[in-house]
Amino acid sequence: MANYLDKKELLTEILNSKNKGELTPRALELLMLMVTKLSTTLKWKNPMDKQDCISTANMDLLMYWKSFNENHPKANVFSYYTQIIKMGFAKGMHTCHPEIRKDIKITNFSQQSENIYNI
C-alpha cells in the first residue's frame, strides 16, 4: 500500500511556509489531507460529531502549524502534525460531549512517586 502523503514534501512545504510567514496552498492541502485520512481511521456514531472534530483539528493546525521545530534532533513533521490532529479530534469530541469525561478522575497511582498517575 502506497503512502498517501510524502513526508519530505510536507516538510518542504512547511519550511517554505515558515519562510513566507503563511501556509502555502500546497501545505494547506497536505495538512487537510492528513485530517481527512486520520478521520477515516475512527468510528463515528454521529456524522455531525465527525464534522465538528474535523473542524476543530483544522483550526488547531492553523493555530499551531508554525510551532514545528525542524531543528529538534527528533523532529518528525508527520508525527508532529498527526499529534495536533489527534488532539484536535479529542478536543472537538470533548466540546460536543463534555459528559463523556465527567466521571474520569486522575488519581495518584503510587504513593512513592508523584509523577505516576492512573486514569
DSSP secondary structure letters along the chain: ---SS-HHHHHHHHHHHHHHTS--HHHHHHHHHHHHHHHTTS--S-HHHHHHHHHHHHHHHHHHGGG--TTSTT--HHHHHHHHHHHHHHHHHHHH-GGGGTT---EES-SS-TT-EE-
User: What is the model's pLDDT at position 110?
Assistant: 43
User: What is the model's pLDDT at position 102?
Assistant: 59
User: What is the model's pLDDT at position 81?
Assistant: 96
User: What is the model's pLDDT at position 46?
Assistant: 86
User: What is the model's pLDDT at position 42?
Assistant: 87
User: What is the model's pLDDT at position 109?
Assistant: 43
What residues form DSSP beta bridges with 108?
117
Q: Average pLDDT across each block of 10 residues of the chain; the chain has 119 residues. List them in order.
A: 81 96 96 94 88 94 94 93 92 79 48 42
**pTM for this entry:** 0.78
User: What is the model's pLDDT at position 52?
Assistant: 92
Q: Do residues 39 and 78 lie in contact, with contact meaning Cβ atoms separated by under 8 Å?
A: no
Domain extent listing, the chain: 7-118
Beta strand pairing call for 117-118 and 107-108: antiparallel
User: What is the model's pLDDT at position 101?
Assistant: 62
